[in-house]
Structure 1
Amino acid sequence: MLETPHAYVLQRDNLRCVGPDSTEFLQGQLSQDIESLTDLSSAWSFLLNPNGKLCAWLRVRRISNEEYILDMEQGFGRLALDRLNRFKIRVKCDIETTQSEIIRILGEGANEIKESFVDSGSVADLEWASLEGFDLIGPTATTPEGCTTGTGDQYDYVRITHAVPKMGSELTEGIIPAETNLVPKGVSFTKGCYTG
């Protein structure tokens, strides 16, 4: 258990989806209900291959009705881009790859720190069931005062201790969503059909 808030800098691959058909296109490709997102809100989602097996576990963040950022573990952006492009036929949605750093704040007291950033538009919910936490995202994200800076190895220890799977480690291509323990967080059962 982290008795004080810790900050971990994580490298992420991003797909920036822009265009008038972005919402409709992503609604048909991701397991989460994209149409229910409001500006600057986010949700976790699966990107599945046509056979129903995992391509990527990612967070989709709505910037506007015509712009979304999909962020995922480093090393999976190109795979996700190739998968989306396979089904991007006569769709007005340009997709580009970028990379970014996020600051993940975990531990007791994280929710109090989060309150000071809520109005900035840079907060993304984390929703680890057993630990307070959130992500600071965007180009202006910096480590907040009152946080201990943690290392990558320390982050992996905390993540594994709290049973949070990671793409490339516990989550690999070829598994099905039911094997991940992430279905309640990443699948909408009311949105209708999507690829996979």
Structure 2
Amino acid sequence: MAEEELTATPIERDIVIVEGSDARSYLQTQLTQDIEAIPLGQSVWSFILDPKASIEALVRVTRIGHDRLAFDIEPGYGESVRARLDGLLFRTDARFSQATWPGVAWRGDGSSTRTFDAPIVSVCSGRSPEGVDVIGPNVSAPVNLPSADLEAMRIHTGWPAMGSEIMEGITPAMTGLIDATVSFDKGCYTGQEPVARSYHRGAAPTKRLVRVSAAPGTVAAGSEFRINDEPAGQITSMLATGDGLGYLARKFDCPADATIEEARLRVTELA
């Protein structure tokens, strides 16, 4: 296998810090992951859901102290995450603060074995390429390493983003991230019942995240596509190369050939 070039790309993340003697137990009732089980210094990805199991946010949660946790999320979404969680407190010792921290997305061979000193040091896993995200108030990128196209990496690995793949009405099963974001061994949390019921029944979601590919410049995000002249799905992200992501309705199998007016595209599963 060819070596992947080591890159260090500047990033920025909205941060919500939750601390206090009740912080972990409170968040355990609000997130899909087992927050109580996060080891000190480690991170997990989790959804925040509404009562009907629609995704409100996809966040990374890092335990940065005994009773201190940091959420990081795409810029522009920190305020809504804080408002969603902070607004439900009642006689609970859980204090919230908010910030924007710089970071560096290290990617390529050897990136995940380097040593870093920052509040958030999260090794990429699952569908992501080898790498580690280093985030903190004093983090800066080295000047002697190139940057990577993180959006292209995200799309090629099929990782959903807030505002494109994650929007109103999207549930965890639709994203294909159940195994990476949901614990079925913890207690109750907001939206748990619909998630657990569909998972244990093996019910397929009404639509699922898929890869799409077309000739460069022929289709755009937001376009709806058809298979056998039937409405089949919608593109959510698209690169200039013609590679993208989208949602495909449950009734359609793939790989499949689809059309958007005169343009043709190929639809394939993420895995």
Instruction: Find the counterpart in structure 2 of residue 117 from structure 1.
Output: 115
Instruction: Find the counterpart in structure 1 of residue 132 from structure 2.
Output: 134
Please state how far the C-alpha of 1:7 moved relative to its aligned partner.
Answer: 2.0
Note if 1:161 corresponds to 2:156: yes
Q: 1:1-196, aligned counterparts within 5 Å?
A: 3-107=4-108, 109=109, 112-117=110-115, 122-129=120-127, 131-144=129-142, 147-150=145-148, 154-196=149-191
Please state how far the C-alpha of 1:72 moved relative to its aligned partner.
Answer: 0.7
Write the distance in 1 (CA, Å) between the matches of 2:23 and 2:62: 12
Q: 2:127·2:159 contact (CA, 8 Å) conserved in 1?
A: no
Please give the per-residue CA displacement for 1:72-100, whole angstroms capped at 9, x wherever unaligned.
Answer: 11111111111112321211101111111
Structure number with the higher helix fraction is 1
Matched length: 190
Moved more, 131-140 or 1-10: 1-10
Structure number with the higher strand fraction is 2
Please state how far the C-alpha of 1:164 moved relative to its aligned partner.
Answer: 1.4
SS state of the match for residue 149, structure 1? coil
* Greater length-normalized contact order (CA 8 Å, ≥ 6 residues apart): 1
Write the distance in 2 (CA, Å) between the matches of 1:38 and 1:164: 24
| Counterpart residue identity of residue 183, structure 1 | I
Please state how far the C-alpha of 1:191 moved relative to its aligned partner.
Answer: 1.0
Please state how far the C-alpha of 1:122 moved relative to its aligned partner.
Answer: 4.8
SS state of the match for residue 153, structure 2? helix
- Which of 1 and 2 has greater Rg? 2
Q: State the TM-score, normalized to the length of structure 2.
A: 0.64
Q: 1:40·1:62 contact (CA, 8 Å) conserved in 2?
A: yes
Write the distance in 1 (CA, Å) between the matches of 2:104 and 2:52: 34
Write the distance in 2 (CA, Å) between the matches of 1:31 and 1:130: 20
Q: CA RMSD in A?
A: 2.1
Please state how far the C-alpha of 1:121 moved relative to its aligned partner.
Answer: 6.2
Q: 1:12·1:74 contact (CA, 8 Å) conserved in 2?
A: yes
Write the distance in 1 (CA, Å) between the matches of 2:155 and 2:3: 13
Please give the per-residue CA displacement for 1:102-127, whole angstroms capped at 9, x wherever unaligned.
Answer: 211123x1xx2332316766521221
Return 5+ residue gaps in structure 2 as ranges. 192-271
Identity fraction in percent: 35
Please give the per-residue CA displacement for 1:57-84, whole angstroms capped at 9, x wherever unaligned.
Answer: 0011111222110111111111111111
Write the distance in 1 (CA, Å) between the matches of 2:68 and 2:87: 20
Return 5+ residue gaps in structure 1 as ranges. none
Following superposition, which runs of at least 4 residues in structure 1 exceed 6 angstroms of deviation? none
